[in-house]
Amino acid sequence: MSLRTRILLSLAPLALLLVALGAAGVMLLDRVGGGIDAILRENYVSVQAMFRLGEAAERIDSSFQFALAGREAFAARQFEANWVVLEEQFAVEAANVTIHPTEDELVSRLRGLKAEYRERGRQFYALPPGSPERTAMYFGPSGLLERFNESKAVAGEILRVNRENMEQARDRARDTARTAMGAFGAALGLVALLLAGAGWYLLRTILGPIRAVTEAAHAIGGSGQLERTVPVFGRDELGRLAAAFNVMTRELRKYRRSNLDRLVRAQRTAQATIDSFPDPVLVVDPAGRADLANPAARALFGVGPTAQGDPGPVWSPPEPLGGPVADALQLQRAYQPDQFDQTVSFRLGGEDRTYLPHVRPIRDPDGDTLGAAVVLHDVTRFRLLDQFKSDLVATVSHELKTPLTSVRLAVHILLEETVGPLTTKQTELLIDARDSAERLLALIEQLLALARLQKPHDEGTFHPADPAELLRTAADAARARADDKHITLAVNTNAVVPAVVVDSDRFGQALGNLLNNAITYTPPGGTVALAAGMTTDGAVVLSVADTGVGIPAEHLAHVFDRFFRIPGQSEEGGTGLGLAIVKEVVVAHRGTVTCESEPGKGTTFRIILPAHLAEGRS
């Protein structure tokens, strides 16, 4: 027997019983409704007619009293109008006499009293107004008042009989409803027994196998128990489901074994690949645990996957790498520096090693984060070569400075003609030699300054300083040169800004380079403005703006490069190291420097530094 047949056979008795209950309910409701309709049709109409008939009779009786009081016209109108109402309500009652014999007798009696009451009323109004006969006809024996009371009593009796009939009909309807409730209760009890039996049968024969399949599915999906099977109950749909489930688990076991072998090979290949790199390579999962690490990364960071291949504990990156790794995992932002000032240093094997870190997010095809790859390129040798180059430049510059100073002094002495007069040609040659010596000396000074900046900084030289005072000091030093070129030098220090922590000498040199650069490229009559302010996040901004020739947009990205000079401005330009020194100084102060320019309208340099907090931290 199929599962469908068993379910249908289990539910068939319930369906038949429900149909029977529905039919019985319809019949009982129709019976109760018919009883209520009989109450309304046979009794309520009579009750309402007798009530209205009594009201009309009272108004007719009042008309006789108004006539005795002298209000003849009003009394006659009231008599005629209410007599019409009385006749209408009596006709309603006469047409609605129930099977109760007493009501028929009472209606016949009321008909006679009504006719006699009508005739005596007409006789009353035929008598002259105010006559004694009228009073006697109303108050006398068998008078109008007595006939009114008899008619009202008969109408009240009819009203009582109909009310009793209504109460009896109500009691019959209530008994019918109680009987129906009892029958329905018994039927519902039977339905409950059948439901319990059908439920037990379904639980035993249907839900049992389904529960076994469900538990096996949870075991496979939750803990990977692919060896789990379910018993096969019969050859119905559930039995075929259980058999198909067992076949599926068998195929899954085969698939897992093949995939596991493939994964192991892929993992070993990936591990062998990164092991072949001499630089430290580390792959972390979204939680920050080390998923892959080559020997260089293990030796440097001391982390890596376990011997069983499981990810190691959560890796806490060292200070320079914490932010880039968090950005790669949370924001999918890559970190790829290419400057020596962005290198990190670690001590490995008893010596300091310098690395250029690269951090890249790893994404799946849907764009979700799978982890991050950290690669540290060992640039120790290149760093040493750069240091050697800087030291060589510093040494050569220092050695050149002394003889060049002597040559410069000799040229100045010759130009002053203290050792004898000079011809015009000799003077021109000495002036060219003096200018060349001055430019060469300036170049040597800037090379020495750049070499000093690349050495480790002494934190003891950093002290809190007022930004406005720094700007005024730099402006005072450059004011003479600005006045010589007829350039207005303005310092705007009206804004209240917090202090900054700086090395006054080095930072003053950076401001001086910006001012000299602005004065050099601003024509006479122009303006150079210095100002101090704050950014929205509370950092301090020092700006140097000029109204000079400006910088073309294609050269803005290179203005801070060493020895870079803007084409076409070589005659007025210097060595190309001034802005490079500015950047070195600002970076040493944990700040940033930006340049905005528009050809023909001027250039603005902004130095952004962290504010010095009240607790002494910056």
Half-sphere exposure of 373 (CA within 13 A, CB side): 11
Q: pLDDT of 296-353, one tens digit each?
A: 878 777 776 765 556 667 787 887 788 888 888 888 888 887 666 677 777 776 677 7
Q: Which of 94-103, 514-523, 594-603 has the lowest mean pLDDT?
A: 94-103
pLDDT band at 44 (very low <50, low <70, confident <90, very high): confident
Cα–Cα dist 81/586, whole Å:
115
Q: What average pLDDT does the segment 139-151 reach?
A: 82
DSSP secondary structure code for residue 312 in this structure: -
Positive or negative, the CA dihedral 519, 523, 529, 535 is negative
Q: pLDDT of 483-532, one tens digit each?
A: 988 999 999 878 788 999 998 888 988 898 899 889 988 999 999 999 99
pLDDT band at 11 (very low <50, low <70, confident <90, very high): low
71 or 201, higher pLDDT: 71
> Quick one: pLDDT at residue 205?
67
Quote the pTM value. 0.40
pLDDT band at 616 (very low <50, low <70, confident <90, very high): very low
Cα–Cα dist 77/154, whole Å:
26
Cα–Cα dist 505/501, whole Å:
12
Residue spans of alpha helices (H) in 462-573: 467-484, 504-520
Fold identical between 278-378 and 459-609? Answer: no
Residue written as token pair 């890596």:
304
Half-sphere exposure of 253 (CA within 13 A, CB side): 11
Residue type, 224: G
Cα–Cα dist 112/497, whole Å:
118
Q: What letters, b where the CB count within 10 A reaches 16 and e where it falls short, cover 49-60? A: bbebbbebbeeb
Token reading at 479: 């004011």
> Quick one: pLDDT at residue 388?
47
Q: pLDDT of 53-80, one tens digit each?
A: 888 888 888 888 888 888 888 888 888 8
Report how many helices (DSSP H) and strands (DSSP E) the chain contains, helices first. Answer: 15, 12
Second-level CATH architecture of 385-453: Orthogonal Bundle (1.10)
Enter the CATH code of domain 3-193.
1.20.1420
- Domain positions in the chain: 3-193, 278-378, 385-453, 459-609
| Contact (Cβ atoms closer than 8 angstroms) between residue 53 and residue 175 | no
> Quick one: pLDDT at residue 153?
85
Cα–Cα dist 370/375, whole Å:
16
Strands 463-465 and 500-502: antiparallel
Half-sphere exposure of 1 (CA within 13 A, CB side): 10
Cα–Cα dist 90/111, whole Å:
8
Q: Please, what is the average pLDDT of the chain? A: 77
Enter the CATH code of domain 459-609.
3.30.565.10
Q: Which of 538, 544, 524 is nearest to 607 (CA)?
A: 544
Q: Which of 491, 490, 452 is nearest to 470 (CA)?
A: 491
Cα–Cα dist 529/262, whole Å:
68
Most confident of 254-258, 409-413, 521-525: 521-525
331 or 31, higher pLDDT: 331
Which CATH fold would you assign to the domain 278-378?
Beta-Lactamase (3.30.450)
> Quick one: pLDDT at residue 306?
66
> Quick one: pLDDT at residue 618?
42
Res 384 pLDDT > 60 = no
Q: Which of 224-228, 305-309, 323-327, 377-381 has the lowest mean pLDDT?
A: 305-309
Cα–Cα dist 594/38, whole Å:
101
User: CA torsion angle for 494, 499, 505, 508 (degrees, to 10)?
Assistant: -30
DSSP states along 53-110:
HHHHHHHHHHHHHHHHTT-HHHHHHHHHHHHHHHHHHHHHHHHT--S-HHHHHHHHHH
Res 540 pLDDT > 90 = yes
> Quick one: pLDDT at residue 49?
80
Question: At CA 155, angle to CA 152 and CA 158, rounded to 5?
Answer: 155
Cα–Cα dist 544/532, whole Å:
9
DSSP secondary structure code for residue 127 in this structure: S
Angle between helices 144-202 and 101-126 (to 10 degrees): 150
Strands 488-492 and 527-534: parallel
> Quick one: pLDDT at residue 617?
39
Most confident of 363-377, 444-458, 514-528, 568-582: 514-528
> Quick one: pLDDT at residue 236?
66
| Contact (Cβ atoms closer than 8 angstroms) between residue 338 and residue 356 | yes
> Quick one: pLDDT at residue 335?
85
Q: What are phi and psi of 128, to 5 degrees?
A: -65, 145
Cα–Cα dist 356/352, whole Å:
14
Res 541 pLDDT > 70 = yes
> Quick one: pLDDT at residue 448?
62
pLDDT > 70 fraction of the chain, expressed in percent and rounded: 76
First-residue to last-residue Cα distance in the chain: 85
